[in-house]
Amino acid sequence: MYHKGGVRYEPLALPDRVGLSDAEALAKAQAHLAYMRKRHSVRQFSTEPVSAEIIAACIATAGTAPSGENHQPWHFVAIGNPEMKQKIRLAAEEEERAFYSGGGGDEWLAALEPIGTGVEKPHLTDAPWLIVVFAQKFGMTLDGVKYKNYYVPESVGIATGFLISALHNAGLVCLEHTPNPMKFLNDLCGRPANEKPVMILPVGHPALDATVPAVAKRKKPLGDILTLLP
């Protein structure tokens, strides 16, 4: 985290160390893979409530992610207020209407066809929580001095991955929703101009009739995504 003034490098003995045998490590890796394969991006949510404490714990996990120079250039706004969720849905659907009426281009719209998306976004009001992810393009000290953040997209992407994994670990589902543009979220969430909204995550339990697109289960085989150079 950025500190104004003469902060110097000070080595700290590794606070936590996990020692596993190769067999134990492989078993854990395979078990984690099996569990993560149960993660799905869901568009149909139950209105069953989720406690704020669960959401806060998952966001705290996101806050442990590594970041460029440890500046932690992110902020998460968790919204459970129905009126605010309705405003976000209306604004998002307005942007989506322009996109699906041709603004997205033929190639992009064709790529979305197997996913089954459209203008209507009921998940933005059905899900008990919306988590808006903001990326801090630059930081500000408490006395108003601007400082540079580094590797912002990479850092925020890693933190968002931590968050999605934590939500899945808590038995919840989410959807990676990215209306474009999202500038309206700054005013709605009361966030400063140096922060850019990059994603909305509707979060909750899946509806009893929830579905996922069949194409979403088609993952590249390991040989297509891995090169081992022992």
Banded pLDDT at 87 (limits 50, 70, 90): very high
Full set of structural domains in the chain with CATH: 42-210 (3.40.109.10)
pLDDT at position 108 is 75
Of residues 75 and 95, more confidently modeled = 75
Taking alpha carbons only, the member of 143, 174, 161 closest to residue 64 is 161
**Bigger pLDDT: 120 vs 161:** 161
Mean local confidence (pLDDT), 176-182: 83
pLDDT at 124: 96
Query: Does 140 have pLDDT greater than 90?
Result: no
Please, what is the average pLDDT of the chain?
92
Q: What does the pLDDT read at residue 1?
A: 62
Q: Is 66 left (phi over 0), alpha (psi -120 to 50) or beta?
A: beta
Contact 189, 79 (CB under 8 A): yes
Residue 167 half-sphere exposure toward CB, CA atoms < 13 A: 29
| Structure tokens that stand for 165 in this block | 């994994």
Residue 26 is predicted with a pLDDT of: 98
- At 3, the pLDDT band (50, 70, 90 cuts) reads low
Q: What is the pLDDT of residue 8?
A: 83
Quick one: what percent of the chain has pLDDT higher than 90?
74
For the whole model, what pTM was predicted?
A: 0.93
| pLDDT score of 135 more than 90 | yes
Distance set, CA 95 to CA 39, 155, 198, 221 (Å): 28, 27, 15, 35
Give me the amino acid identity at 79: I
Average pLDDT of the residues in 73-81: 98
